[in-house]
Amino acid sequence: MSLSDRMPVIELPPIPERTRLRELFGVTKAAIGRELNVSRQTVHAWESGEKDPTADNRTKYAGLLSAWADTESRMRSIMERDSDIIITVKCPWCPTIIHGTVNDIDSGLRKHLDYCESRPIDDHDEGTSYCTSLPEHRHN
């Protein structure tokens, strides 16, 4: 039995959670690949469950996902505590900028991201300050 056979397997989040966390923080597959010295296609295979990362990359990838999950948890705690603070958030796929209270942003951004994510990448409104198909999100 080798040393690697005796090491505990580091758990990764469920497959859909991997993509959700990466997208929540606006990070591309290529950026993760550069950080871990793998291709964008390899990261895609990890997110889709086609492949598992090697032991060393699994540790690094799990650490990255864990840090994002912890940050999201802390952000949610702050959102619950400071729900009347006005913030601004930019869509990671298009130039849309959404302003509002923390609670408004959470629901408005989720609605916008669900819509924007479903559109082909070349269908986003490049060069504008909003996604023209969602007039409720037009803010200047």
Domain that holds residue 120: 86-137
Report pLDDT digits (tens) over 57-102.
Answer: 999 999 999 999 998 888 888 767 766 777 777 776 677 777 777 6
Q: Which residue has the higher pLDDT, 27 or 84?
A: 27
Q: Looking at the predicted structure, is the pLDDT value of residue 40 above 70?
A: yes
Residue 125 and residue 95 in one domain:
yes
Backbone angles phi, psi at 3, to 5 degrees: -60, -40
Residue 68 and residue 125 in one domain:
no
Residue 12 and residue 73 in one domain:
yes
Secondary structure of the chain: what % helix, strand, coil (to 5)? 55, 5, 35
Q: Looking at the predicted structure, is the pLDDT value of residue 43 above 50?
A: yes
Express as a percent the part of the chain with pLDDT over 90.
36
Last residue of a domain, one of 80, 106, 126: 80
Residue 12 and residue 71 in one domain:
yes
Residue 20 and residue 67 in one domain:
yes
Residue 62 makes CB contacts below 8 A (sequence gap 6+) with 10, 11, 12
Which pLDDT score is estimated for 94? Answer: 73
Which pLDDT score is estimated for 87? Answer: 73
Least confident interval from 1-5, 11-15, 31-35: 1-5
Residue 51 and residue 106 in one domain:
no
Number of domains in the chain: 2
Residue 7 and residue 58 in one domain:
yes
Query: At 98, which helix (H) or strand (E)?
Result: strand 97-101
Last residue of a domain, one of 56, 80, 104: 80
Residue 23 and residue 56 in one domain:
yes
Q: Which long-range contacts (CB under 8 A, 24 or more apart) does 2-9 make?
A: 4/55, 7/55, 9/58
